[in-house]
Amino acid sequence: MGTVRHILQKKGHSIFSVVPTSTVYSALELMFEKNVGSLLVMENGRFAGIFTERDYARKVILKGKASKETLVREVMSEHPLSVTPDETVEDCMKLMTKKFIRHLPVIEDGELVGLISIGDIVKYIIEEQQFIIDNLEHYITGS
C-alpha cells in the first residue's frame, strides 16, 4: 500500500487556510469557494489548528452562536492529529476510522506540508485497485 507522500504527489501540497481572528462566516465562505470541508488555521506562519464543517455544526450552530460574530479561534480544533508523508495509507485509514475524523494535516520536519481527507484516501485506494485489475487483465490476456 502507498503512503501519504504518494497521495500528496498526485493531489498537490496546496492548502487553504485562515487566521484565528477570521470570522467563522468568512471561513465558511472560503470553504464554499474552494469546495473543501476543512481549513487549516495558521498563526504567524505556523500551524495552529484546523476548522472543519463538524466544528461549525457542533460548536457554532448547536450552541446558537452567530457565524459573523464568532472567531475561528473560539471553535477550531487545536492540536489535531497529524501524520507524516511516510505514513501508510492503510494506517491513515485506520486512524481516521478509529478517531472519527475526516482530515489529517501532514507534517514533515515540524512544517505543515499538506492535508489529506478521507476522500483522498478512498480515491487513492480505488485508483490502486484499478491499476492492479488492469495489470492482471493484461497478464491474463497476454496483451
CATH number for the region 4-141 comes to: 3.10.580.10
Could you tell me the residue ranges of all domains in the chain? 4-141
pLDDT per residue as tens digits for the range 115-131: 999 999 999 999 998 88
The Cα 137–Cα 90 span in angstroms is: 25
Label residue 12 by pLDDT band (50, 70, 90). Answer: confident
H-state helical runs in 1-143: 4-11, 24-34, 53-56, 72-75, 89-99, 118-141
- pTM value? 0.86
Return the half-sphere exposure (C-beta side, CA atoms, 13 A cut-off) of residue 37. Answer: 13
